[in-house]
Amino acid sequence: MARIPDAFIDDLLARTDIVEVVGSRMPLKRQGREYSARCPFHDERSPSFTVSPTKQFYHCFGCGAHGTAISFLMNYDRLEFLDAVEELAKRCGLEVPRDTQQRNQSGESRELYAALEAAEKFFRQQLQGSAKAKAYLERRGVDAENQARFGIGYAPEGFNGLKDALGTDERRLSLLDKTGMLSKSDSGRVYDKFRDRVMFPIHDRRGRVIAFGGRVLEKDDGPKYLNSPETALFHKGRELYGLWQVRQAHSKIPRLVVVEGYMDVVALFQFGVNTAVATLGTATTPDHAELLFRNAADVYFCFDGDKAGRGAAWKALESVLPRMRDGRQAFFLFLPEGEDPDTIVRKEGAAGFDARLAQATPLSEFFYNELSKDVNLAGMEGKARLAERAKPLLANIPDGAFRDLMQQRLTELTGVGQRVAPAPAPQATPSMRGRSGVPAPKRSLVRTAISLLLQKPALAQGLEPPYLFGVLRQPGIELLTELIALARERPGITTGAVLEHFVEREEAVALQKLALNSEPGSDAELAEVFLGAIGQLNDQTKLQRRDELNQKEQREGLSPEEQRERWALIMEIKAIKAG
**Bridge partners of residue 127, in order along the sequence:** none
Tell me whether residue 572 is exposed, middle or buried, using C-beta atoms within 10 angstroms of its C-beta: 0 to 12, 13 to 18, 19 or more.
middle
Handedness of CA 34, 38, 41, 43 (dihedral sign): positive
CB atoms within 10 A of CB 560: 7
| Structure confidence by residue, pLDDT tens digits, 516-558 | 877 777 888 888 888 888 888 888 888 888 888 888 888 888 8
Most trustworthy range by pLDDT among 34-48, 161-175, 511-525 = 161-175
pLDDT at 299 over 90: yes
Write down the CATH superfamily of domain 445-578: DNAb Helicase; Chain A (1.10.860.10)
**Per-residue model confidence (pLDDT) at position 102:** 52
Percentage of the chain modeled with pLDDT above 90: 41
**Per-residue model confidence (pLDDT) at position 433:** 41
496 versus 347: which is more confidently predicted? 347
Summary mean pLDDT of the chain: 86
C-alpha–C-alpha distance, residues 401 and 399, integer Å: 7
**Per-residue model confidence (pLDDT) at position 441:** 44
Asked if 375 contacts 386 with a C-beta cutoff of 8 angstroms, the reply is yes
**Per-residue model confidence (pLDDT) at position 107:** 63
What is the 3 state secondary structure string of 94-127?
CCCCCCHHHHHHHHHHHHHHHHHHHHHHHHHHHH
Q: What are the phi and psi torsion angles at 195 (to 5°)? A: -140, 135
CB < 8 Å & 24+ apart, contacts of 119-122: 119/162, 119/166, 119/176, 119/179, 119/181, 119/209, 119/212, 120/151, 120/153, 120/199, 120/201, 120/209, 120/212, 122/153, 122/161, 122/162, 122/165, 122/166
CA distances from 472 to 208, 274, 457, 506, 562 (A): 53, 58, 22, 21, 19
**Per-residue model confidence (pLDDT) at position 182:** 94
Parallel, antiparallel or unpaired: strands 57-60 and 49-52: antiparallel
Q: What are the phi and psi torsion angles at 405 (to 5°)? A: -70, -35
C-alpha–C-alpha distance, residues 426 and 166, integer Å: 81
| Structure confidence by residue, pLDDT tens digits, 226-282 | 999 999 899 888 899 999 999 899 878 899 999 988 999 999 999 999 999 999 878
C-alpha–C-alpha distance, residues 125 and 154, integer Å: 8
For the chain, the straight-line distance linking the first and the last C-alpha, in angstroms and rounded, comes to: 56
**Inter-axis angle of helices 401-414 and 380-394, to 10 degrees?**
170
Domain spanning 6-92, CATH architecture: Alpha-Beta Complex (3.90)
156 versus 41: which is more confidently predicted? 156
**Per-residue model confidence (pLDDT) at position 442:** 53
CA distances from 480 to 243, 477, 516, 528 (A): 42, 5, 17, 17
Asked if 173 contacts 208 with a C-beta cutoff of 8 angstroms, the reply is no
> Comparing C-alpha atoms, which of 242, 240, 370 is closest to residue 315?
370
Describe the chain by its helix, strand, coil percentages, rounded to 5. 50, 10, 35
C-alpha–C-alpha distance, residues 257 and 259, integer Å: 6
| Structure confidence by residue, pLDDT tens digits, 416-452 | 876 544 444 444 444 334 333 444 345 688 888 898 8
| Structure confidence by residue, pLDDT tens digits, 339-376 | 999 999 999 999 999 999 999 999 999 999 999 998 88
| DSSP calls for 255-269 | -EEEES-HHHHHHHH
**Per-residue model confidence (pLDDT) at position 18:** 92
Enter the CATH code of domain 243-368: 3.40.1360.10
C-alpha–C-alpha distance, residues 111 and 90, integer Å: 23
pLDDT at 48 over 80: yes
Parallel, antiparallel or unpaired: strands 361-362 and 49-52: unpaired
**Per-residue model confidence (pLDDT) at position 99:** 55
Q: Domain extents for the chain?
A: 6-92, 101-234, 243-368, 372-414, 445-578
Parallel, antiparallel or unpaired: strands 225-227 and 190-192: unpaired
pLDDT at 486 over 80: yes
Q: What fold characterizes domain 372-414?
A: Pheromone ER-1 (1.20.50)
pLDDT at 95 over 90: no
Asked if 6 contacts 490 with a C-beta cutoff of 8 angstroms, the reply is yes
Going through 145-297 in order, the beta strands assigned E by DSSP cover: 153-155, 182-184, 190-192, 197-203, 209-216, 225-227, 256-259, 276-278
Mean pLDDT for 211-224 is 85
Q: Which of 287-301, 527-541, 563-577 has the lowest mean pLDDT?
A: 563-577
- pTM attached to this predicted model: 0.64
CATH class of 101-234: alpha beta
Task: Name residue 102's amino acid.
Answer: Q
C-alpha–C-alpha distance, residues 392 and 66, integer Å: 27
**Inter-axis angle of helices 6-15 and 69-76, to 10 degrees?**
80
In sequence order, which residues have a C-beta less than 8 Å from that of residue 526 and are 6 or more positions away? 452, 455, 456, 459, 519
| Structure confidence by residue, pLDDT tens digits, 113-152 | 999 999 999 999 999 999 999 999 999 999 999 999 999 9
**Per-residue model confidence (pLDDT) at position 435:** 37
C-alpha–C-alpha distance, residues 215 and 194, integer Å: 9
| Structure confidence by residue, pLDDT tens digits, 449-468 | 898 888 888 888 888 887 88
**Per-residue model confidence (pLDDT) at position 420:** 43
Mean pLDDT for 192-211 is 92
Continuous H helices in 25-99: 69-76, 81-92
